[in-house]
Structure 1
Amino acid sequence: APLRALPEPGSPLTTRELGFEDFLRDVKPMTRPAPTAGDDPGFWLYSSGSTGRPKGTVHSQANPYWSSELYGRRLLGLRADDVCFSAAKLFFAYGLGNGLTFPLTVGATTLLMAERPTPEAIFRRWRGGVGNLKPTIFFGAPTGYAGMLAHPGLPARGEVALRMASSAGEALPAEIGQRFKAHFGVDIVDGIGSTEMLHIFLSNRPGDVRYGTTGWPVP
């Protein structure tokens, strides 16, 4: 919707419509980074509203670095040759790390998807049907994993390049993790996170997954 420019208090009330292009005309590229500190406010993310209306959660400039370093790089072991693919979109805290800050931190490739994360859409990308890229790391949620395992079009192990999968958003049933491991030969690394913490703060570990548990604190 158009924005309205308001006069100074006490002036006659007049309005005019300003479009986004009007603001861009007066903007010049920054010649140097803004003088921010790590604990300065950087951005807001809104919670899911599970206890009422969604709440704006303020994150510092340094928060994306620390979640990427502690969980993405050190815990998951993401590498520059990985192709990351997240079912959760960038406007979720889970998806923001999976699809943006984690891969960019290590120089990996990220595969974004605008459409709904249906099994068919996910399988197409697992098989390399978009950009000829086969994801090596997939980030999903238990409901999605259950739906994919029950789908008749589930790819065979040899059709995909997955080396790891991650799960959050709800508790992962042990049976789902075990069936996924039996079919694809890779574990689902389950953890729990929140918008307030920006990403996962309790998690299983690659190579040490205990299905039916949430894992240990992310150091």
Structure 2
Amino acid sequence: MADRMTPEQRHKCMSHIRGRDTAPEILVRKALFASGFRFRVNVASLPGTPDIVLGKYRTAVFVNGCFWHGHEHCRLYSMPKTNTGFWTQKIQRNRRRDAAVAVRLQARGWKVLTVWECSLDRARRKKTLETLEEQIRQNGEEYKAELAARKAALQERRARTLSSRERKNALSGEIYSRYSIPRRIRKASEDFDSLYDSPDGMRDECQD
């Protein structure tokens, strides 16, 4: 199908398309807020500046326009007939950037969800939003489980460290009680143990 716009008209049309706070983004935000989710928007501190960030659920949501992000096999993705080379390269760059951003977010422990503009039409909107909310809640459960596992591992390491110190103290007490060690030698031994346990202290002593 031939492009019915002149190059000037096409440029003017494209330049008026908003990059943020688009109608699809606002629709998704309102739906999530109404369902009890709380979030931040356009978070520049994260790769790709996600449209919606739900920290409690460790989830980043991108609401993508089908044309600008090159949604394959979509009725809203139609390459302009004028200046086709420029638009082809631009869409390809956007796709590569989207993939790279997802990898960087996942490396930081974030789950990445994408909502396409076409999936928010009247026929599919309800199903799309229900699926999105379900995925967010599932991500939240996985994140809570991950935090619990980290906490348990930390507590286990602390317990092992404490147990090691207790065994050392018990052994020292048994040696001192079993053998008659002069107080002067015992004090020197304790001072050495304290110095040995502290790398900084040992280094300072060696330098002196």
Does the alignment reach a TM-score above 0.5?
Answer: no
User: Comparing both structures, which one devotes a greater share of its residues to helix?
Assistant: 2
User: Comparing both structures, which one devotes a greater share of its residues to strand?
Assistant: 1
Q: Which has the larger radius of gyration?
A: 2
* TM-score, L = length of structure 2: 0.29
* TM-score, L = length of structure 1: 0.28
Q: Larger relative CO (CA 8 A, sep 6+): 1 or 2? A: 2
